[in-house]
Amino acid sequence: MMRRHGYGFLLLLPFLLLTGCDEDVAPKAIAQPLTIDAIGYYCNMTVIDHPGPKGQIHRADGQAPLWFSSVRDAVAYTMLPDEPKDIVAIFVHDMGGGRDWSNPSDDGWIDAHNAWYVLGSRRRGGMGMAEAVPFAAKGDAMAFALTHGGRIVDWQSIPQDYILNTADQQPDHPGGALGDKHNGQHDKSHDGQENKIQEHKHAG
């Protein structure tokens, strides 16, 4: 009888071990919808009020994501040495498929690490800064660059200098249609955001 029970336990052991492993695995982060309550991590402004692609970063603490009024700011967060590094997911707007620059839809969130980025285009990000415009498909990135200028890179190839030193950056290919009404504007909010990023960059 004991041998029969012992044999039954051995049969159940793999399932018990798998169950224990599943309990230790943190739930996978998923992109959250952008609402009016989302406040930009660096600009302290309502994210949804800004044009262009946005970013959200999820940390290991499982709290609400950190929101960014531009993809450039989300990338900066990952590069600045004094920001927490317990990042579990980064999502950015896919700007392919004819998505509205002034109001990208929530169905367009993609994993930032798998995206293609157009740098130095004539389109400006949410705070009027040079943007890293993300695309899920490289073909969409190429079409965008053909129309608005810029060069295409993957996540690993985004230059730190492009992200952290963009105050006076000009598009790679001058001329043509401008991105939106915020192009070229350097208002107090913009300057405050740039100063905050630079302070983080030089801290310590």
Domain presence at residue 197: no
Domain presence at residue 12: no
Q: Which H or E element spans position 3?
A: helix 2-24
Domain presence at residue 121: yes
Domain presence at residue 29: no
pLDDT in tens, 89-140: 999 999 999 899 999 989 999 999 999 999 999 999 988 889 999 999 999 9
Q: What is the number of domains present in the chain?
A: 1
pLDDT in tens, 131-172: 999 999 999 999 999 999 999 999 999 999 999 985 545 444
Domain presence at residue 30: no
Give the side-chain half-sphere CA count within 13 A for 88. 15
Q: How many angstroms separate the Cα of 22 from the Cα of each of 12, 17, 28, 75?
A: 16, 9, 12, 31
Q: What mean pLDDT is predicted for residues 59-81?
A: 96
Domain presence at residue 7: no
Beginning with the edge strand found earlier in the chain, give each strand of the sheet holding 109-111 in spatial order.
Answer: 66-68, 55-59, 87-93, 109-111
Average pLDDT of the residues of the chain: 80
Cα 115 to Cα 138: distance, rounded to the nearest angstrom: 8
Domain presence at residue 148: yes
Domain presence at residue 5: no
pTM listed for this prediction: 0.74
Containing domain of residue 167, as a range?
Answer: 35-183
Q: How many CB atoms lie within 10 A of CB 52?
A: 26
Angle CA(59)–CA(63)–CA(65) in degrees, nearest 5?
60
